[in-house]
Each structure stands twice: as structure tokens, then as C-alpha cells.
Structure 1
Amino acid sequence: MSRKETTGQAITRSLVAHGIDTVFGIPGAHMYDFNDALYGAGDKIRFIHTRHEQGAGYMAYGYAKSTGRIGAYTVVPGPGVLNSGAALCTAYGANAPVLCITGNIMSHLIGQGRGQLHELPDQLATMRGITKTAERIDHQSETGPVISGVIGKMLSGRGGPGAVEAPWDVFGRSGPEVDLPVGVRAPHPAVNSDEIAAAAALISGAGNPMIMVGGGAADAGAEIAALAELLQAPVTSHRSGKGIVADDHPNYLNFVAAYEYWKKVDVLIGIGSRLELQFMRWKWLPKGLKIIRIDIDPTEMVRLKPDVGVVADARDGTQALIDALEGSGREDRTREFAEFNEEARSRFQAVQPQLAYLDAIRQILPRDGFFVEEISQMGFTARFGFPVYGPRQYVTCGYQDNLGFGFNTALGVKIANPDKAVISVSGDGGFLFGVQELATSVQHKINVVAIVFNNSAYGNVLRDQKQTYKGRTLGSDLTNPDFVALGESFGVRSFKATSPGKLRDILEKALSLDEPVLIEVPIEKGSEASPWPFIHPAPHAE
């Protein structure tokens, strides 16, 4: 006679089979049978309970974004799903494999509008609007196929978040324990030799090619560096592409420097990138520019049509291009690239006090440590002012630019990378979106160092209102707590740093403590130089 298990137990067993070892979340009535199954999994799955559903979603995002593996979380339906919706939006925009597991009202009441606890008019449709895929388990026997199908889609092609819901009454329903299928990544598209030949022909005739990398190239760093060396071309990146080719690689151009080099580029090679810098921020194209794109998502070739589109995994496509160009060595131009970088650094060094503080952090953060940005004056400046040396080490929210993601995300990064240093950099406004997760860091011993730059304002809004709206400020001035006292009230070791030198010293001590740490850095309101002229530069004169 076969053993029986509940739907909740089958979901848990499927998660383990897919290599998921951590679930973030908050237990709740609809989910009790699943929550109990997680308890029954013992040491196979670690459960990190948070103080807000948004925190659970962001921690799963940090886990996924820093590793490329699935970050899973569970929340109650309705308000729980909606509270975590910002994190799912972020995962969608940043192509991160975040899995949301939630419930629903009783199966026979779905869609009837009876006003049941946590009922949404159509929760599945809501989740499908902010994920790559979302499905419902209507019966215990569907558990394996539904979970494996969702995970397979999340991991295939252009990655992204997924969601699974089960009605309240289905979680506890028993059925035979059966072998569960495991969702696998679909095979990468076969590299089209004709497309590679066309790309190679364009490159062979180019005098000044440039390579732009995005998050889709995270696993192709070695191949991209080899291509850059072969072509003696510069490589640049914006947010998600930082560190894929290390900032100190001779062919890497900081994107401020890359904008100056852009004047003479004749072929742009985009690899795993939406080409946001060139088309949405620089807003100026050199005459006669030809574009080559290597991307696993064929839709990208429609969204922004290149001269040559290579639909392929970044590593496969780049290696095929190297093979096609073999023997076409070029004169070393790395001194030229170094001069561009030095000139750019001398110009953006004026973005103070941000650069001085970022330099202090970089001096202390180990080369393989993680830096989690935030929507703040420090975060914006870090996009060009903070060197990164490995893929996924600069954790960003991508194009969603959602305030408040940073500290919570950093906790997930640390859970996924317990032996690496993790520093979170927030403004006072963004940090207070998720300050309650200081309690989570203490309870679960998540040793993130959180740096809060306190300028008593939503700094970007305040600057825009002063500059564009003649000083008519609305909702941009903030009254804040004493962050050191606040941190200490949670049981977090807390410090105040009043200069870059003091921050460097405190940070060195903080990392040696190996416990949660909060550091407040007071900044005079409105004193920061704007980083935006370097992120949105004025168009080149033709």
C-alpha cells in the first residue's frame, strides 16, 4: 500500500527535489498545512520568517539575484501577495528566478465574490501580470506537474519569477505519494552559423567596436573578456552588468568613460543587454552605427531591432563569435581605454560627498563581497562610482528603481552567501520602508552591515522640486528617528560615522564582528552633488 501525503507535503518535497533549501515568508491561516509541511522537512529547508510580506519577497529576490538559483517565499493570499508584489515586479524586471507560493480561498468559492478572507477578484490573473508564469494546484495529484512546470518556465530562456497558488482546502488534501517530476531548463537555442557569420563580417570591417553587457550575460564573463581582448574593444555596463567583466580588466570602460568613446563607435555588440544606456540614457547614436545583439530572448530582436541578431545563450553566442573571428588580432588599445577611464574618474570625482564614502566602502569590502544598492544618492552614484570585480556582486533592482528594496534584499543575499561580506547602502527614506527586518536579522543571525545615509529627505525628489519647481517642496522633507538608538533597540550593534575616514574605520570593525550592524552617516540636507549629469549626459554635438 502506497504512502499518502498532503498537497503541502508534496509541494515541500518538490521544492527539495528542485534544490530549494530556503523559504522566506510569514505563516498564515490559508497556508497552515503547507507551513506544517515545511516544519516537517527538518533541515532540508530553512524557513526564515520575516516581519512584512514585502521583506519576504525581497529576501527571496536577493537570494536569487546573487546566485542565479531559485529564491522562494510564501505569503498568504490577497493582501500578502499584494504586499510582496513590488518584489515580484523587481524580479520580473531583473529576470530573477523568484518563486512565490501562496494560497487562495476555498476552492468552491473562487470567483464568486462572496467576500471571503483575503479574497481577490482574480488572484491568479493578478500574479500572472507581474510574473513570467503562475498556476494553480486544484488537486493533490497536480502538485508535481504544476510545480515542475512553473519552475521549468522560470529557468528557461530569459529567466523570471513564477507563482503557485492552492486553495485553502487543497493544501491539506491527501493523496498517494508518487514520484515527482523535476522541472528543467529548456535547451538553449542552437547558435545559427549564418547569424554568427553576418556578425563576424560586420565586426571585421569595424574600426571601433564596443561591447555592452547586461544581466543576461552573468555567466559569460570569461568569454566576453576573451572577445574584448581579441577585438581590442572596450566593454561597458550599466547596473545588472556590473562585474561581469571586472572593473580593473584592461578592456573595461566605466560607462562615463564609455560615453566619450561612444562618439567614434561604429559597431555596438550588445550581449544579454536591453541596451538601456545607449538608447534610453545616452540618447545619441553615432552616424552609421551598426548593432549586433546576442540574446536568448527572441522577442528582444523585435523590441529593438539590430542589424544582426543572434538568438543564443550569452556564453554560447559569444564563444561562437570568438571562433568565427579567430586569428583577427588587433593592435593593443588598453592604454587608450585606461586614459578614458582616468579622465572620466577625474570628472565624476566632483560628485561629493558620495564618491568619498563609496571609495571608503570599496577599500574595506573584500573583492568578492556583495554591495547592495538602494534608490538613493549613494546608490545612483554607485552605478558609475563603485568598482565591481565579479558577476552578481553588485545587486540592483534593475529598471523598477523601487525605493526600499535594498536592506531587505541584502538579507537574502547574505542567507545565500553566508561566508561572504554583504553591505547594504540605503538612504534614510528607503531604509525606513523595511526597517522592521532588523528584527529578522537579529532573530536569524543574518550578518548584514547596513549603512544608512541620512539626509533627512527623499533626496532626489527634493533636488528636483528645488530645481524644476522653484523650491515648491511637497513631501520630500523627512523627520527621522535616531538611527543608532533605533538599531540598538532591535539589539543591533549600531554606530555613527561622520566622515569617510570614520566610516572606513567603523566598517572594518563591523565586518570583523560577524553580526548584524547598522551604521548611520549624517549628510547635510541637499548637499550632495547630482550624479545625473553622468547617468543622463547631454547629447554629443555632431
Structure 2
Amino acid sequence: MSQGKKMTGGEAIVQSLVRNGIDTLFGIPGVQTYGLFDALQRNGKRIRVVTPRHEQTTAYMAMGYAKSTGRIGAFSVVPGPGILNTTAALCTAYGVSAPVLGITGQVPSDYIGSGKGHLHELPDQLATLRTLTKWAARIEHTSQVPEVMHDAFRQLQSGRPRPVVVEMPWELFTAAAPVTPIEPPAVYPQIEIDPDSIARAAALLKEARNPLIMVGSGAQHAAPEVLALAEQLQAPVVSWRGGRGIVSDEHPLGFTCASGFRRWAETDVVIGIGSRLEMMWFRWPDLGKQRRLINIDIDPVQMVRLKPAVGIVGDAARASRGLLEEIRRHEGARASRTEEFLALKARTHADIQKITPHVQYLAAIRQALPRDGFFVEEICQAGFTSFYGFPVYQPRTYVTAGHQGTLGYGFPTALGVKVGNPDKCVVSITGDGGFLFGLQDLITAAQYRINLVVVVFNNGAYGNVYRDQQRLFEGRTIGSELSNPDFVKLAESFGIAGQRVQTPAQLAQALERAFAADAPALIEVPIDKDRETPPWEFLMPAPGA
């Protein structure tokens, strides 16, 4: 693209996407964005367009793509009700710090804010988007496309990654004007880490006898550095949802929340890396012990929220590496605690077997899923149990909704995971309730050959609601028991292989066949809702447990 070349707004946006490395866009065209999709069609070999059957799925797929690859996930829908349909995915992407780019339209420029009721008009769409994203902006002339898109990509690739949305009035997608490109930098500027904070953290750790590291999604790219720091300190690395896989569960220092709590009473210093530290301030009781906190996070506001003894603002990998180097300047290797930690983990593994039948079904999935395969959880009994009951071996291979707990996100998000990782096996687990939020996109899997395997745990209920109503309201239930279709026949009606299994062994065999077939598949697992063991004993341990 030469300087000052005349092009439409849609063409200019596509050129910006290509320049910034976007190779896939999940989107549904509509009248306001015809010019964008026409430009995408004419650049079809450079950007793949996947069109699902619900606008919410476009953003969920972009989130799954982003979280599993570490690259930007992009989506596009029409304004008004179209962009509003994506908001559950946007707030989830915001919560899990996913770099998601949304592109939407607007009413024609002359009607913005007029209140005349133009097609898809909102009172203030941009203000609405700014409550759900890191950054949102409007392109008000075709010539502004490179500048606004450059700002969008800078927001996505610097500081804490979170979704951003760009809107453009209807007429500009086809309005031509001279456009001057902006080349993206090789590397976006990084926050400089304060060496004094590194020194103070190292001094605090020098006196620590039982340090513990907590990791979240902000450390997914820093797995080698986190492990090296943990090995120097002989500190367990406890993962919670977004941190799963940063240190393999097979490693002596790789702890789930269930095994990590067994070390909590003895812990004297906590190192939080890229994590909200939800376990520390919400899920784990204090047990009467004062602990010092060292917090590493790229988001400086986290230091205000968590008030650590030492706050290190910066990238997780660089900060962890710098802290390790400072520690090694002053002390040698610590005595190995491998045998102690392996014994503790073995006891925890034995204890969680009581969470039937889901620990056993999760073990069957782990048996069939390759080590580098992807597992996408969902808000269901199996999903909650997977927080500690599903072994994870590599970063990014466990995809979660994080603290939003977004019911129904799992299946559409897993579609995006598979698109981003076409050569890897991907399994989506879901309950019957959540799955019906987005089942129409089974046809998207069939149409685009998105060879995802979805496992539907069918207990005929919103399981947590059902159990809580029984427990808290003298056995009375309302709205928590569900009537369901025949899931196997449903899958087959979409042209997707469906089967039903009754045991963990059958599930493992069914998964192995599905992965070998390399085609979309659905496996139903009937569950008796009155015989499920609640997973909460290991998620919200009582004081003194």
C-alpha cells in the first residue's frame, strides 16, 4: 500500500488487520458492515473469515483463539443489538485478560446521537462499549483508519491485554479517501521494572522458609521463568484457573488449588505472578497467620488493590527472571523438597477421588487427550471439578472463563480454540444447561470442519442451583430442573457424529475414536444429579480444614 492511496474505510481496516498479523476473523456481515466484508472477500487468501450462527459466538471464538494461541483474536458484528449480543464474551475476555479486537458499525454519521431511531441505533454505543473493554474508539473519517487501528493494536499489545472495540459509521465502510498507512513497531514499549522493588523482594525471600507462588493468566507466557524461580526457592507453584499448566502438574512443584491449600498454614511469603490472588483473599481462610505478599503484575492498579509488602510492576517473565538473578547473587541452591511435595500431592490426589463421578470422568478425558491437547472447561459440575481434578501439562492448554463464571461460554469458545490450533486435539466439556446456550453452532463446526469434540454431561439440571435450592430452601426447587433433547440425535441432525457413554472407560474409548476420526463429534454422558458429589470441599475449604 503506497502512501496516500485512495481506498474505502473497509479496505483500510482490512489493510490494517493484515499489517498487524491478523489471519482470522470471526464475523457475521450486516448492512452496516457490507463494505468491510466485501474487502475481506477480496483479501480472502490473507484473512480467513469464519461465520458462526450467533453474534455472541463470534466474540467467544475470538476469545478462545486468543487465549489458546497468545495472539490477537478478531471479530466483527453489526452495531446495536449485534454488538450487544457479544457483551457476555467481552466481559469474559476482559476478566481473563484476552487480547480481543472487535470491529463494529454505527448508524450514519449524521444520525449519531440524534435519537431518531435509525436502524440499530443505541443512545451511546461508544459509552456502552467503554464499560466492557480496555479501550474503545470511533473512526470518523476514512483517512483516520490507520491511526485509530494503530492505537487499537497498541492497546492490545502493551500493558495488560484486554479487549478493545473500534466502531465506524455505516457510510464510511464504502466511502473512499486517501489513506496513509502506519507500520506497526517490531516491539511495543514495555514497562521498565524498578530495580529497587526487585532488591526488596529478594531480601524478603531470603528470610522465607516456606514461600509459595500463585500464578494466573498473566504468567502464561512466563512458564520457564516461573519454574526457574520456583526451583531456586523450592516453592510450590499453585495455579488457579487461568494459571493452569504454567508449571506442569507432573512436576513436583506444580500444585493445584487442592494440593496448594495443604501448604497454606505453613506459608510465610506469597509471590503472586500475573494473578488476582483470588484464593488468598477470598477462597482460603487466613488460619490466623500473617503472610507477606510479593506481587508481580503488569497492571499497576493491582498494587493498589492488593497492597503487597513489595509490588513489582512489569512483565511476568522479565520480573521473574530479574528476581531470580537477584536471589542467586546472594544465596545458593536450597535443599530439595521433592519427596515432601510429591507425597503431599499423592495424598491430595487420593483425597479428591471422593468427588464422584467427575474426577473419574476427567481422568478418562486426560487419558485420551494428547499431552499438548486443549481442554476447555464450562460452568458445570465437571468444570468446577476440573479446577483441581484435571491434570494440565502445558501453558495455555486449559481455557477458562475465569472469575466471570460465564455459563454457556465453553462450547463456542472451544470452537475458536480449535480454529487457532487446527493440528491439536481440542475437547470442550459442558453441562446440558450451558450447552443449550449455543448449540446452534454445531452447524458452524460442521460447515467449517472445525473438528472439535464436545462432551455433554447431562444431569437434567442447572446442577449448582438445584443443589443449593435443596440445601438452603428446605428441598424446594424452581427453574433448576431441565427437559432436554436427545443430544445424540441432535448432533446427527447437524451432520455430526454423536454417541452416548455410561462409564469413564467408555468415555476414554469414545474420545480416542473421535480424535482418530478428526471430525466434529458430540459425546453425551448421562449423570444422576442426586448422586454427584459436590466439588466445593476443595474449592472453598473451611477454616481449619
Normalising to structure 1: TM-score of the pair?
Answer: 0.98
Q: 1:254 Cα deviation (Å)?
A: 2.1
- Residues 388-537 of structure 1: pairs in structure 2 closer than 5 A: 388-537=392-541
C-alpha distance after superposition, 1:437-492 (max 9, x if no partner): 00000000000000000001001100100111111111000000000000000000
Judge conservation of contact 2:287–2:544 (CA < 8 Å) in 1: no
Q: 1:176 Cα deviation (Å)?
A: 1.8
Counterpart residue type for residue 294 of structure 2? I
Distance 1:283 1:111 in 2: 50
Change beyond 3 A, Cα 1:285–1:115: farther
Judge conservation of contact 2:287–2:543 (CA < 8 Å) in 1: no
Q: 1:216 Cα deviation (Å)?
A: 0.4
Judge conservation of contact 1:103–1:165 (CA < 8 Å) in 2: yes
Judge conservation of contact 1:353–1:529 (CA < 8 Å) in 2: yes
Query: Which residue of the partner structure matches residue 346 of structure 2?
Result: 342
1:356 pairs, out of 329, 338, 360, with 360
Query: Which residue of the partner structure matches residue 251 of structure 2?
Result: 249
Change beyond 3 A, Cα 1:194–1:3: closer
C-alpha distance after superposition, 1:105-149 (max 9, x if no partner): 010110011011111000001111100000001100000000110
Counterpart residue type for residue 144 of structure 2? E
1:211 pairs, out of 213, 217, 241, with 213
Judge conservation of contact 2:91–2:404 (CA < 8 Å) in 1: yes
The sequence identity of aligned pairs, in percent, is 54
Pairing 1:387–2:396 present: no
Pairing 1:168–2:170 present: yes
Query: Which residue of the partner structure matches residue 303 of structure 1?
Result: 305
2:262 match: secondary structure: helix
Query: Which residue of the partner structure matches residue 196 of structure 1?
Result: 198
Judge conservation of contact 2:379–2:406 (CA < 8 Å) in 1: yes
C-alpha distance after superposition, 1:368-411 (max 9, x if no partner): 00000000000000000001011110000111101000010001
Judge conservation of contact 1:376–1:427 (CA < 8 Å) in 2: yes
Length, aligned pairs only:
541
Judge conservation of contact 2:8–2:177 (CA < 8 Å) in 1: yes
Query: Which residue of the partner structure matches residue 226 of structure 1?
Result: 228
Q: 1:288 Cα deviation (Å)?
A: 3.0
Distance 2:367 2:339 in 1: 25
Judge conservation of contact 1:449–1:518 (CA < 8 Å) in 2: yes
Judge conservation of contact 2:272–2:294 (CA < 8 Å) in 1: yes
Distance 2:539 2:296 in 1: 24
Q: 1:285 Cα deviation (Å)?
A: 5.4
Change beyond 3 A, Cα 1:286–1:328: farther
Judge conservation of contact 1:91–1:161 (CA < 8 Å) in 2: yes
2:244 match: secondary structure: coil
Distance 2:124 2:201 in 1: 46
C-alpha distance after superposition, 1:25-50 (max 9, x if no partner): 11101110111111011210000001
Q: 1:179 Cα deviation (Å)?
A: 2.3
Judge conservation of contact 1:493–1:518 (CA < 8 Å) in 2: yes
Distance 1:164 1:185 in 2: 22
Distance 1:162 1:526 in 2: 43
Distance 2:186 2:88 in 1: 27
Distance 1:398 1:303 in 2: 18
Judge conservation of contact 2:134–2:163 (CA < 8 Å) in 1: yes
Pairing 1:372–2:398 present: no
Distance 1:307 1:398 in 2: 26
1:87 pairs, out of 76, 86, 89, with 89
Distance 2:134 2:186 in 1: 16
C-alpha distance after superposition, 1:288-325 (max 9, x if no partner): 31110111111100011000111111111111111111
Query: Which residue of the partner structure matches residue 96 of structure 1?
Result: 98
Distance 2:93 2:186 in 1: 20
Q: Which runs of 5+ in 2 are unaligned?
A: none
1:36 match: secondary structure: helix
Distance 1:84 1:528 in 2: 33
Distance 2:403 2:70 in 1: 18
Counterpart residue type for residue 520 of structure 2? P
Deviating more after overlay: 150-159 vs 389-398: 150-159
Judge conservation of contact 1:153–1:185 (CA < 8 Å) in 2: no
2:439 match: secondary structure: coil
Pairing 1:119–2:118 present: no
Q: 1:328 Cα deviation (Å)?
A: 2.7
1:180 pairs, out of 154, 179, 182, with 182
Change beyond 3 A, Cα 1:297–1:185: farther
Counterpart residue type for residue 195 of structure 1? S
* RMSD (Å), alpha carbons: 1.2
Judge conservation of contact 1:251–1:337 (CA < 8 Å) in 2: yes
C-alpha distance after superposition, 1:392-435 (max 9, x if no partner): 10000111101000010001000000000000000000001000
C-alpha distance after superposition, 1:250-271 (max 9, x if no partner): 1112221111110010000111
Counterpart residue type for residue 139 of structure 1? H
Q: 1:540 Cα deviation (Å)?
A: 2.3
Q: 1:525 Cα deviation (Å)?
A: 2.4
1:13 match: secondary structure: helix
Distance 1:462 1:170 in 2: 50
1:164 match: secondary structure: strand
2:263 match: secondary structure: helix
Distance 1:179 1:456 in 2: 55
Q: After the TM superposition, list the runs of 4 or more consecutive aligned residues in structure 1 that deviate by more than 3 angstroms.
A: 183-186
Judge conservation of contact 1:252–1:337 (CA < 8 Å) in 2: no
Counterpart residue type for residue 164 of structure 2? G
1:30 pairs, out of 19, 29, 32, with 32
Q: 1:526 Cα deviation (Å)?
A: 2.7
Q: 1:189 Cα deviation (Å)?
A: 1.7
1:450 match: secondary structure: strand
Deviating more after overlay: 325-334 vs 15-24: 325-334
Judge conservation of contact 1:155–1:184 (CA < 8 Å) in 2: no
Distance 1:131 1:202 in 2: 36
Q: Which runs of 5+ in 1 are unaligned?
A: none
Counterpart residue type for residue 350 of structure 1? K
Distance 2:187 2:499 in 1: 45
Q: 1:182 Cα deviation (Å)?
A: 2.4
2:543 pairs, out of 529, 539, 542, with 539
Query: Which residue of the partner structure matches residue 154 of structure 2?
Result: 152
Judge conservation of contact 2:205–2:269 (CA < 8 Å) in 1: yes
C-alpha distance after superposition, 1:489-517 (max 9, x if no partner): 00001111111111111111000000100
